[in-house]
Amino acid sequence: MQAYAKLNLGLRILGRRADGYHELRTVFQTVSLADDVTLAMGAGRGVRCETSARGAASWLAVPEDGTNLAVRAAELAREEFRLRGQVRLRLAKRIPVGAGLGGGSSDAAAVLRLLAARARPAPPADLVWRLAAELGSDVAPFLIGGTVLGLGRGDECYPLPPWPSQYAVIALPSRPVATAEAFRLWDERHPEAAAPPGLTEAARSVKINSFRGSLMRALPASRQARDRGRPERPIVRAGIENDFEEVVFSLSPDFAMIRRALRRAGAEAVALTGSGAAQYGLFSRRETAAAARARLAEQGPTWVVRFVARQRREPKLWGVVQW
Ligand code: C5P
């Protein structure tokens, strides 16, 4: 199974919550950079994991024990779905670690989906969602895929209509960023920031709709405009700002340099994904994205990806509303 990476199309940190996590508003978008997750059941017990990395670069190095989120997902799911035998997991890594691209979370979600499909009887949807939330704040959006609104810790997810097709150039600086470190830095800068109290159901649905509306208005090239043969509109105000930028950029001059390089290469909007370290630039056309990538290549690892929409054949298991 392809475990796609994600980009955050905007990320707002509203404040610290009583449980120590931070209240977020974000939109996740799956993109075509992907790890390959394969899984088989064999004789024995527990979970065995082998990883291989294309290019064997250090930013792909992941542990093969229980500190790997996919292994942890397999251990949890094996027990909770009452599967017999040994789970044999193979991860072919392409998504860099510590980049904000959600590689570990996506692998974990793929493992949950693969094992849920094997379990008899099929596990109830709420169990799968609970395991996803237990594994990490970023796992749940990958159970849905495509364009997903994330609230709460990021794990409270709502599928959005597909974002019009885009290309992105992803660029990595020389150092990874650990999410917990980025939140700690944000806390230092915002010592008084307590999260607002939880929204009522009615207020929540209004917020979701208005947030979605503002994002759709900020689209670089609306599908309708393209369908009518009009020239594509550049983004005036991106709407994809990320509140981690103010803290993460202070870690290294690399961040500002990559941002400038993406802008100079013609990106219609540039942003940090998650808590970094990767940044991306959006492009309407593949050729422009490829040319931009060529200009950035000597700065460090870069990829051209396209947005990947939610798969129509997602199982009903997840109980989410489909658009
Ligand atoms: O949930 P996850 O394990 O992915 O989060 C990693 C770390 O990031 C947490 O330990 C927590 O410190 C921080 N975090 C947070 N608020 C969030 C998500 C993560 O403070 N919404």
Which ligand 1 atom is the nearest neighbour of the CA of 23? 21
Please give the Cα distance from 47 to 230 (Å, whole number). Answer: 54
Instruction: Give the mutation target among 179, 243, 244 for probing the ligand 1 site: most ligand atoms within 8 A of CB.
Output: 179
- HEC profile of 33-101: EEEEEEEEEECCCCEEEEEEEHHHCHHHCCCCCCCCHHHHHHHHHHHHCCCCCEEEEEEEECCCCCCCC
CB of 43 shorter than 6 A to ligand 1: no
Residue 136 Cβ contacting ligand 1 at under 6 Å: yes
* pTM, two decimal places: 0.88
State how far the Cα of 95 lies from the Cα of 303, in Å rounded to an integer: 10
By the 8 A CB rule, do 292 and 266 touch? yes
Question: Which pLDDT value is given to residue 258?
Answer: 96
- Catalytic: which of 35, 107, 138, 254? 138
Q: What is the DSSP letter of 27?
A: E
Q: Compute the distance between CA of residue 18 and CA of residue 79 in angstroms, rounded to an integer.
A: 31
Residue 195 Cα to ligand 1 midpoint, Å, equals 14
Residue 144 in contact with residue 323, Cβ under 8 Å? no
Distance CA 27, CA 145 (A): 11
- Report the residue among 16, 21, 134 best suited for mutation to probe ligand 1: largest number of ligand atoms under 8 A from its CB: 21
Pocket test for ligand 1, best of 11, 139, 157, 183 (most atoms within 8 A of CB): 183
Pair 115, 143: CB distance under 8 Å: no
Q: Is 249 in the pocket of ligand 1 (CB under 6 A)?
A: no
Distance CA 163, CA 149 (A): 12
- Ligand 1 geometric centre to CA of 188 (Å): 16
CA gap 39, 88 in Å, rounded: 6
Whether 154 lines ligand 1, by a CB cut-off of 6 Å, is: yes
If you take atom 4 of ligand 1, which residue's CA is the nearest one?
Answer: 136
Q: b/e per residue, 129-152, with b = 16+ CB within 10 A?
A: bebbbebbbbbbbbbbbbbbbbbb
pLDDT in tens, the chain (323 residues): 999 999 999 999 999 999 999 999 999 999 999 999 999 999 999 999 999 876 546 677 788 888 899 999 999 999 999 999 999 999 999 999 999 999 999 999 999 999 999 999 999 989 999 999 999 999 999 999 999 999 999 989 988 888 888 999 999 998 889 999 999 999 999 988 787 666 555 556 556 656 556 555 554 444 444 444 443 333 333 468 899 999 999 999 999 999 999 999 999 999 999 999 999 999 999 999 999 999 998 888 999 999 999 986 655 545 555 44
Task: Kindly give the number of the ligand 1 atom that is closest to the alpha carbon of 275.
Answer: 8
| Residue indicated by tokens 């251990």 | 75
Minimal-distance CA residue to ligand 1 atom 21: 153
Q: How many CB atoms lie under 10 A from the CB of residue 119?
A: 16
36 part of the active site: no
Q: Is 21 in the pocket of ligand 1 (CB under 6 A)?
A: yes
Ligand 1 atom with least separation from CA of 135: 3
Cα–ligand 1 centroid distance for 137 (angstroms): 6
138 carries an active-site annotation: yes
Q: Is the CB of 59 under 6 A from ligand 1?
A: no
